[in-house]
Chain A
Amino acid sequence: MDVKVNILRYNPETDRKGHWEEYILEADPDERILDLLHKVKWFDDGSLAFRRSCAHGVCGSDAMVVNGENMLACQVLVKEVSTPIKIEPIRGLPVIKDLVVNMDSFFDSYKKVMPFLVNDSEPGERERLQSPEDRDRFEDTTKCILCAACTTSCPVFWTADTYVGPAAIVNAHRFVFDSRDNASKQRLEILKDVDGAFRCRTAFNCTSACPRGIQVTKAIEDVKRETLTIN
């Protein structure tokens, strides 16, 4: 079948601002949106820029806005979206070219929340023990692939890019609720800040956007509540 695709193009070397380009593509309903982008790039306009790698939803490269919603282009099939298909870069981060945005501030926010296990006690020669129940407390947030679909769907983030954003809080959650970690207090102090977890207005956009099905808003609420337990 023929599919009409509109892509928001921007080339900083030739364009002053972004503009829509229309493409009519021969496509199979079972193909991924990413396959459509490849058709444009490989057989129509080689200059189209987008990130991609694994092509099955685990590397987090190809978050973009498709028909107004954040998703991974490799995780959605043509038959699941209405036509014409409108594809834009994720919002709130500076566009470098076409569908590629500058991710620096996103990763800076991630690094701010100490996204690593802190435990200075001598672990011994074997693994630290952890019950399946304790392991389950942070199962959901271990799934994050740092694609930025959540953070760039957040209306608070759009207006205040100093907000650490949902993805950073998700990655803090992953350690705050890990029974092996000893730095919850420091992390929660960071998230108590004016640009921390309480900036969240529970719009739930992040939860809808997460391609890994993480209950992002719930994780943020968990962190907010935990923040109230520290002095």
Chain B
Amino acid sequence: MKIIKHSFDGVIVGAGGAGLRAAIEAAPHMKLAVITKLYPTRSHTGAAQGGMSAALANVEEDNWNWHAFDTVKGSDYLADQPAVDILCKEAIDSVVELEHWGLPFSRLENGKIAQRRFGGHTVKEGEAPAFRACYAADRTGHMILQTLYQKCVSMGVTFFDEFQVLDIKIDDGVCRGVIAYEVATGDIHIFEARAVTFATGGFGKIYKVSSNAHSLTGDGPGILYQKGIPLEDMEFYQFHPTGIYRLGILLSEAARGEGGILRNKDGERFMERYAPSIKDLAPRDMVSRAIATEISEGNGAGPNNDFVYLDLTHLGAETIKQKLPDITDFVRTYVKIEPINEPIPVQPTAHYAMGGIPTDVNARVLSDASGTILPGVYSAGESACVSVHGANRLGTNSLLDIVVFGKRAGQSMVDYVSSTKPMELSDNAAEDLTNKIEKLIEKDHSLEFSVPRIREELQDSMEENAKIFRTEESLEKQTKILTDLRDRYQNVTISDKGKVFNTELLEAIELEYLLDMSDTTVASALHRKESRGAHSRVDHVERDDENWLKHSFAFKNGESVKLEYKNVELGNYEPKERKY
């Protein structure tokens, strides 16, 4: 296997919003490389639709404290409040900065950035829905990704496109670099770098019905987990209420922010029963549970009573065309119905990981539950858990998270690089990885141990046993299934033995990350005997602040998962019953 060595001060893994924002901050101050398994503009930030919240007060009175209150309440009080303050306070400058870099926000008549309503965002701590989400039609994420990439192009940032990082080198507790696989050639690249940021996004592909891209396989969290770094709050996985029926393609909450209504088979606006004050604009965990409940009680529509309707028919063709053009196009393309005239079949879809690599507010990775910092390693965006989203993220706060904490990751890299000396990696640093790849290539292929078979069973079983509603029984059952899948994975085989664009090989390696993400999700969910945010235990329906106002840290312990806990950092807002 050909091995090529590079020497950088810093490496950023992933070129979505968080990675690119970190790059903009770090590139002027060091020799930096951004390594991405896709082309940067293919990253899943581009699929985000509805908006990015900031208390700009362009439409009505607003301030960042209200935004912080909503975020904490939305998180079911599991978010760390000092971190939430940073998120909401820095939101304002972050939006303005993106505008200055060219982001084409939609505009109000007076020329200011337009803002819309979104789930869980209110004025005056719950009084009424707030116009807080800054948007560019329903393609805000696309515009953020393009703008950040454009800025990187203008700065001459160095990219390694279609290089997949598969290992990190940490010696004596200090980061020395990463090892990457060049997709087009199969060559192995050793990147010396003493500062490494993981901005690899989420892992929605552990579920069958998901809004996530095929590439969202938990690479960053998986690489670190296998090195003994814990993963935080993995039991909190968000299901977005409105995925297109069966396909899971996201239909933005902006549809409800603009006035769209959820209806059951009888046409009833059922959210009035679940969240009397803000109805369809309740946070995602509540709306997804409401839909799941409607379906389980027989109120779902269709021959199998297994979906509900998102009704936009009263909004009018002009509003739909101006404000929701993309999502209505998705409906026309994939469902072949006209959303101006007909309600859209939807069901909850796996969407966002609140959990991930534990970090402090400066994106520095923590190696244990007591807050020990792992020198030189950073994470931001969906791969990280700061925690600003707690047990349930509010819509629009992920696009905010990637720029606020992406920037902080970049700053931390600069601080670290300027106070440390270059690290060297030996020429055999890639040995572990090359052995792993050679083993995969050499093994004879057998269908029973093929990647798609194991992955499909993984996704089907996670969908069945560890989705919106969970019980001890379903989670125990899933633990056993995962043990069996893990055993089979030890014998995984591939048919492609070539070097050029061998994506079957990469899918095999990604499958291990998916298994790691599933193991930690299920173990954390099994141990948390309460219901909070997106984690709903049918056998423990109440939130239990006395015992569970804490973050879980899941460690790899041989073939099993070991859990530790860390208290939530409170602030201005005492935990209260969460009603809307």
Q: Which of B106, B213, B249 contacts A53 (CB 8 A)?
A: B213
Interface 9-residue window, one of B2-10, B93-101, B310-318, B427-435: B93-101
Q: Which of A77, A116, A129 contacts B150 (CB 8 A)?
A: A116
| Residues B154 and A131 in contact, CB atoms below 8 Å apart | no
Given contacts A111-B153, A142-B143, contact A77 B334 (CB under 8 A): yes
9 A-B pairs besides A43-B452, A46-B445, A46-B496 with CB distance below 8 A are: A46-B495, A53-B44, A58-B142, A60-B42, A116-B151, A123-B100, A130-B111, A135-B107, A143-B142
Q: Does A97 belong to the interface (CB within 8 Å)?
A: yes
Cβ proximity bits A102-141 to B, threshold 8 Å, 1 near / 0 not: 1100010001001111110001011111111001001100
Given contacts A61-B42, A135-B104, contact A46 B494 (CB under 8 A): yes
Task: Name the residue on A nearest B48 (C-beta).
Answer: A58
Q: Does B109 belong to the interface (CB within 8 Å)?
A: yes
8 contacts between A and B (CB under 8 A): A13-B499, A46-B445, A53-B44, A53-B213, A57-B330, A129-B111, A175-B102, A180-B102
Q: Does A42 belong to the interface (CB within 8 Å)?
A: yes
Nearest CB in chain B: distance from A151 CB, A: 15
Q: Could you say which residues of chain A place their CB within 8 Å of the CB of B43?
A: 59
Interface size of B by Cβ–Cβ distance < 8 Å? Answer: 58
Residues of A within 8 A of B (CB): 11-14, 30, 41-43, 45-47, 49, 51-61, 75, 77, 96-98, 100, 102-103, 107, 111, 114-119, 123, 125-132, 135, 138-139, 142-146, 175, 178, 180-181, 213
Nearest CB in chain B: distance from A147 CB, A: 9
Given contacts A61-B38, A145-B41, contact A138 B104 (CB under 8 A): yes
Nearest CB in chain B: distance from A169 CB, A: 16
Q: Does B113 belong to the interface (CB within 8 Å)?
A: yes
Tell me the complex Cα distance, A150–B211, Å: 27
Q: Which of B142, B249, B329 contacts A145 (CB 8 A)?
A: B142
| Residues B214 and A55 in contact, CB atoms below 8 Å apart | yes
| Residues B150 and A56 in contact, CB atoms below 8 Å apart | no
Nearest CB in chain B: distance from A174 CB, A: 8
Given contacts A52-B214, A131-B107, contact A96 B500 (CB under 8 A): yes
Q: Does B573 belong to the interface (CB within 8 Å)?
A: no
Interface 9-residue window, one of B390-398, B501-509, B530-538: B501-509
Most buried by A among B249, B496, B503: B503
Task: Name the residue on A nearest B497 (C-beta).
Answer: A47
| Residues B450 and A100 in contact, CB atoms below 8 Å apart | no
Q: Does B260 belong to the interface (CB within 8 Å)?
A: no
Task: Name the residue on A nearest B103 (C-beta).
Answer: A117
Q: Does B146 belong to the interface (CB within 8 Å)?
A: yes
Tell me the complex Cα distance, A57–B329, Å: 10
Q: Could you say which residues of chain A place their CB within 8 Å of the CB of B329?
A: 213
Tell me the complex Cα distance, A117–B153, Å: 11
| Residues A45 and B104 in contact, CB atoms below 8 Å apart | no
Tell me the complex Cα distance, A52–B215, Å: 8
| Residues B151 and A56 in contact, CB atoms below 8 Å apart | no
| Residues A41 and B504 in contact, CB atoms below 8 Å apart | yes
Q: Could you say which residues of chain A place their CB within 8 Å of the CB of B109?
A: 131-132
| Residues A53 and B136 in contact, CB atoms below 8 Å apart | no
Cβ proximity bits B144-172 to A, threshold 8 Å, 1 near / 0 not: 00100011011000000000000000000
Cβ proximity bits B71-96 to A, threshold 8 Å, 1 near / 0 not: 00000000000000000000000011
| Residues A128 and B99 in contact, CB atoms below 8 Å apart | yes
Task: Name the residue on A nearest B37 (C-beta).
Answer: A53
Given contacts A54-B213, A57-B330, A123-B100, contact A143 B139 (CB under 8 A): yes
Nearest CB in chain A: distance from B19 CB, A: 15
Q: Which of A30, A55, A57, A117 contacts B101 (CB 8 A)?
A: A117
Most buried by B among A127, A138, A143, A175: A127
Q: Could you say which residues of chain A place their CB within 8 Å of the CB of B46?
A: 54, 58-59, 145
| Residues A127 and B105 in contact, CB atoms below 8 Å apart | yes
| Residues B213 and A59 in contact, CB atoms below 8 Å apart | yes
Interface residues of B in 315-354 (CB under 8 A from A): 326, 329-330, 333-334
Nearest CB in chain B: distance from A75 CB, A: 6
| Residues A129 and B112 in contact, CB atoms below 8 Å apart | yes
